[in-house]
Amino acid sequence: MIQQHAAAPARPRGIFGLAVIALVMVSVLASLGVWQLRRKDEKRALIAALTERLAGAPVALPPATQWPALNPAHDEFQRVRFSATFERKPDVMVYSSGSAVRDDIPGPVTWAFMPARLADGRTVVINAGFVQNTMQDRARQDRAVTRLVTGTPVELTGYLRFPERPGWFTPNADVAKRLWFSRDHLAMAQALGWDEVAPFYIDLESPVPASRTPKPGPLQVHLKDDHLQYAITWFGLALVVAIAFAFWVRSQRRA
């Protein structure tokens, strides 16, 4: 009788412990659901802003005095128009498995990055468009890009873009082949002696060369908006945990 009386308080303590665990799990899952709802609103606002910028008429390239104030949140994908001269300096090819903003990308391609000189003498890096997957054929890439270097100013229309930092699994650049795997134009400029360049680069929209290589083109927004589905999943898991705990408590009271 004494042993049975001493063991009796164990059940309330067990219920209390599981209640704390269940509460923490429900709180975490519910907070993840709320976070996804916030991300949904942010993503839709971003899509609306980018769509507006891409569809807007091109404006003049901001003067150099404004470059330090430009940032991706407010200026990425802004359409601009300006005159520049492609320089006779080494270009860079950037390998990509596809594109999230170009509908005409057939698969793996390389992007031709090259410096261009503005009228004031400053240098802007231009992504002149894509060449078919020729990352192993440097001679073909050179022939394609050389056609753009005429020594005369060209009227260009494109989009402001900002450098892409390499991820953990991004291969290192092959400077000897002038082959990069991330759109980090600042690293390209430093490695190849392009002098000081603008903090942004330009994704070229036009003109399209007669050979169509490299091939520039218009950009479109293709951002995934799955946050509502994720939110429903997290809220559903929180509900499952709460219901499971309620059934467990009920079964313990019947025992």
Domain ranges of the chain: 11-64+223-255, 78-206
Q: Is the peptide bond before 68 cis (omega within 30 degrees of 0)?
A: no
What's the pLDDT tens digit per position in 81-121? 999 999 988 899 999 887 777 888 877 888 999 999 999 99
> Which of 254 and 108 is assigned the larger pLDDT?
108
What is the structure's pLDDT at 135? 56
Tokens of 165: 């930092």
Average pLDDT of every residue of the chain:
84
Residue 77 has pLDDT above 50, yes or no: yes
* One-letter amino acid for residue 150 of the chain: T
Predicted local distance difference test score (pLDDT) of residue 121: 93
What's the pLDDT score for residue 223? 63
pLDDT at residue number 141: 61
**Percentage of residues of the chain with pLDDT beyond 90:** 37
Confidence class for position 1, pLDDT limits 50, 70, 90: very low
Specify the pLDDT at position 14. 65
Better pLDDT: 124 or 167: 124
CA–CA distance, 139 with 35 (Å, rounded to integer): 50
Model pLDDT, residue 206: 92
**CB-neighbour burial class of residue 94 (10 A; exposed 0-12, middle 13-18, buried 19+):** buried
Q: In the chain, pLDDT over 70 holds for what percent of residues? A: 85
* pLDDT at res. 208: 87
